[in-house]
Amino acid sequence: MSAREEHLVELVDETGKAHGEMTVAAAHQPPGQLHRAFSVLLVDPDGQVLLQRRAAIKTRFPLRWANSCCGHPQPGESLAEAANRRLREELGTGPVELTEVGVYVYYAEDPATGRVEFEYDHVLRGDFLPAAPLQPSPDEVAELRWADPAALEAELDLDPRSYAPWLGGVVNRLLHPSGATPGVPGSAVTPPGSSADDTAERSGGR
């Protein structure tokens, strides 16, 4: 088990209100505990989104194509801090300014590993600059590719087993921003040390 599986996550209700904490490993054991998470989509100037194929050693949905990076804020950690930490750990890039485009609540079971995803998922968009470095960690990422998000929606319908089951909801929030976070619709999530300038759904399988 990786050290990250022993990190704490924030348990929430279906409105996003926190009510406790638990380790990553425990929260993903059946039947699953609803907890706060985030999914980042990096978007280039042409509107393409960066996808990663999850590494084979992942404990949940290995070797599936997913969004640019995912993770869980630890209790007391802001979304900006957590998302930029994971961008650095997974992709060797960042920090970037992120904008929340919606929330996606879903439940997903991985038949291959027996783990469960039950997440209150903040969908975050970040603008990727072509000159920014990308140095993916082999422990996190098997490969990367860019995709047109509208075409990706069609691919998800045609070949769902190649993709992480949460990706459809994440892409939908990007294409149809909902501003679903109570009190902060479409809010900017600014990385630490930077200035602001520089619908619940269920899925059958994360």
201 is catalytic: no
| Residue 72, annotated as binding a ligand | yes
117 known ligand binder: yes
122 is in an annotated binding site: no
So what's the pLDDT on residue 131? 82
Question: pTM for the complete prediction?
Answer: 0.85
Q: So what's the architecture of 3-171 in CATH? A: Alpha-Beta Complex (3.90)
pLDDT band at 199 (very low <50, low <70, confident <90, very high): very low
Domain boundaries, the chain: 3-171
pLDDT bracket for residue 119 (50, 70, 90): very high
**pLDDT computed for residue 132 by the predictor:** 86
Q: Is the pLDDT of residue 122 over 50?
A: yes
C-alpha span between 33 and 135 (Å, rounded): 32
pLDDT digits (tens, 9 = 90+) for 141-152: 999 999 999 999
Q: Which residue in the list 10, 70, 100, 109 is annotated as catalytic?
A: 70
The question of whether 70 is a catalytic residue gets the answer yes
Residue 178: pLDDT band (50, 70, 90) is confident
Per-residue pLDDT reduced to its tens digit, 71-102: 999 999 999 999 999 999 999 998 999 999 99
- pLDDT of residue 167 exceeding 80: yes
176 annotated among ligand-binding-site residues:
no
- Structure tokens of 90? 């997974």
Catalytic residue, from 10, 97, 119, 140: name it. Answer: 119
